[in-house]
Structure 1
Amino acid sequence: MAMNSILNADDIKKALAAFAAVDSFNHKKFFEMVGLKAKSADDVKKVFLVVDADSSGFIEENEMKTLLKRFSPEGRDLSDKETKAFLQAADTDGDGKISIDEFTALVHQ
């Protein structure tokens, strides 16, 4: 499933441009800009499934690093600093990965 079947392609493009600089990524602003924050829990879960590239049921660190590329091939990799901040914000149970429930809660913060 492509992200632009869930979210508006122009919104994705604008959000990626806003966070093009390394160490500029802010998950709260990004999710708001792409329109994900306003989406239903079902749509957020669809996005989770796209980001969970290996279909493990979790977003692991390597998948977090490529988060922006999952929204569009033009996206960049997150820096180590951004990846760790994203993980810290989302991983409420401390297992080192993000579950679908943790992702949904993070998006709707």
Structure 2
Amino acid sequence: MSMTDFLNAEDITKAVGAFTAVDSFDYKKFFQMVGLKKKSPDDVKKVFHILDKDKNGFIDEKELGTILKAFSPDARDLSAKEIKTLLAAGDKEGNEKIGVDDFFALVAES
């Protein structure tokens, strides 16, 4: 499964391209730009499972760092500041990781 199974390739390219500068990543804008906000809950959960590279049911700091690369292999890694911001927004339990329900809430608020 790849992101283009659920999202438009052109939207992904534009969204990734909008956040090439370090410390420019805004998850709310990104999720809107790639079209994730408009997707069904089932599709959002499928995207979560693509982002959960180790398949442990959570997206951790390491996986957050490469979140843009999950959408486009030639994208940049997130900075430590961007990772912390995204983790703080999505980690409702304070366990340093984002579960599927947390991810769904992140997308819904964008």
TM-score (norm 2): 0.98
After TM superposition, the runs of 4+ consecutive aligned structure 1 residues lying more than 6 A away are: none
Q: Which residue of 2 aligns with 1:108?
A: 108
For 1:85, give the aligned amino acid.
T
Query: How far apart in 1 are the matches of 2:4 and 2:74?
Result: 13
Query: How far apart in 2 are the matches of 1:39 and 1:12?
Result: 14
Displacement, 1:79? 0.2
For 1:50, give the aligned amino acid.
I
Q: Which residue of 2 aligns with 1:26?
A: 26
Displacement, 1:22? 0.5
Query: How far apart in 2 are the matches of 1:88 and 1:36?
Result: 20
Gaps of 5+ in 1: none
What SS class does the counterpart of residue 88 from structure 2 fall into? helix
Query: How far apart in 1 are the matches of 2:81 and 2:68?
Result: 15
Query: How far apart in 1 are the matches of 2:32 and 2:72?
Result: 16
Displacement, 1:69? 0.2
Q: Which residue of 1 aligns with 2:48?
A: 48
Equivalenced residue count is 109
TM-score (norm 1): 0.99
Query: How far apart in 2 are the matches of 1:104 and 1:81?
Result: 22
For 2:23, give the aligned amino acid.
D
Identity of aligned residues (%): 60
Gaps of 5+ in 2: none
Query: How far apart in 1 are the matches of 2:76 and 2:11?
Result: 16
Q: Which residue of 1 aligns with 2:78?
A: 78
Displacement, 1:74? 1.6
What SS class does the counterpart of residue 108 from structure 1 fall into? helix
Displacement, 1:75? 1.3
**2:62 counterpart of 1:59:** no
Query: How far apart in 1 are the matches of 2:74 and 2:31?
Result: 17
For 1:63, give the aligned amino acid.
E
Displacement, 1:19? 0.4
Calculate the aligned-residue CA RMSD, in Å. Answer: 0.5
